[in-house]
Amino acid sequence: MIISAPNQTRQGEHRVALTPDAVRSLVSDGHTVHVEQSAGTAAGYPDEAYVEAGAKIVDNPWTADVIAVVEPPTPDDRAHIRVGAIIVGLLRPLDEPGGIAQLAKTGATSLAFETLPRITRAQSMDALSSQATAVGYQAVIEATSRLPRFLPMLTTAAGTIRPAKALILGAGVAGLQAIATARRLGAVVSAFDVRSAAAEQVESLGAKFIEAVTTPQDASTAGGYAKELAADEQATVVANLAPHVIDSDLVISTAQIPGRQAPLLITADTVHGMRPGAVIVDTAAATGGNCALTKPGETVVVDGITIVGDLDLASRVAGDASQMYARNVTTLLKLALETSPINLEDEVLAGCAVTHGGKITNERVRAMLEEA
């Protein structure tokens, strides 16, 4: 098989789907690997490293048998994809189902990490988790760089500086990494999540868990994800969180629901009540944001409060984010290429397949298109 990795050209995207280490692994399995010129440069992987690993540098990676991407193909990219090709990547099937409909028309088999089953066997392929790790880490770094004060307590000849207070909203993978990072930097950390299992995870990292919901969710009934709350319970959560947000120096919000708009957790009134100099990093900006004043892709200052709506946090640490992502890609491809044609009876492959044979194969994506 010829497996390729294109250069992701969207502004702000610096990750690459295959690293030189991934190339070595695939070449050792007997595959030919094509990497588009400069595909890994922004992530710290020059073309020379790929050639040394056994790859061929090409101008057009879109005619390969298998194409590994970070983001969905553009219309121009889709024009080169051949019938029967396999596309694997973060394809946004639940956020942009129209793009999946267009991808189906190419006749390619599309494997989306967003619909990968959350089962033990698929953990090593879970790109959502690996990239959320990068997001959670970088969110704290972004907040710290904008905060006009230290995170740790400092005792100096000029007196004692109290530690900053960090609040993490959402204790999934990104949230837990944000907690760990803020704790490493010396902040006093508290966190909130609607899932009952999150309290133990939060406290195991040395943070205080905030009870702000009347009926905690059982994560096992939602595949590990949080579910959308009823309107009255959502209002209760927002009201209960407000004093904690106001008392914080930095807030990292990570609450998202797959295929839905991000839940509102921070109102405009709450932002106005925060101390000048406080920072909010809203990692859910791409799906509407957890803060009412978030502007996706922008950083705004309201009454002295900085609100970061960055859409490329994982790309700020593109080297390590790409390394983790490439391992996810390689593991999934090794499973997909065990048989020819691809075995869509396999639980993992059936779960992440969103197009095959010119059709949309994922029921949820089909339903979203019908609703639209």
Active site residues: 118, 123, 126, 129, 225
Collect contacts of 19-23 with beta carbons under 8 A, ≥24 apart. Answer: 19/43, 19/45, 19/322, 19/323, 19/326, 20/45, 20/49, 20/50, 20/52, 20/53, 20/55, 21/53, 21/323, 21/326, 22/326, 22/327, 22/329, 22/330, 23/50, 23/53, 23/54, 23/55
At 37, list the tokens: 């010129």
Q: Determine the Cα–Cα distance for residues 265 and 261; give it in Å rounded to an integer.
A: 12
Q: Are 14 and 40 in contact (CB under 8 A)?
A: no
SS3 of residue 296 by DSSP? coil
Strand order in the sheet with 279-282: 208-209, 188-192, 165-169, 250-253, 279-282, 305-308, 299-302
Task: Write down the residue that tokens 């004060």 correspond to.
Answer: 149
SS3 of residue 43 by DSSP? helix
The gap between the terminal CA atoms of the chain, to the nearest Å, is 37
At 223, list the tokens: 């595949």
Helices 97-104 and 363-371: crossing angle in degrees, nearest 10, is: 110
Count of residues for the chain? 372
At 111, list the tokens: 């494997």
Task: Write down the residue that tokens 């922008």 correspond to.
Answer: 298
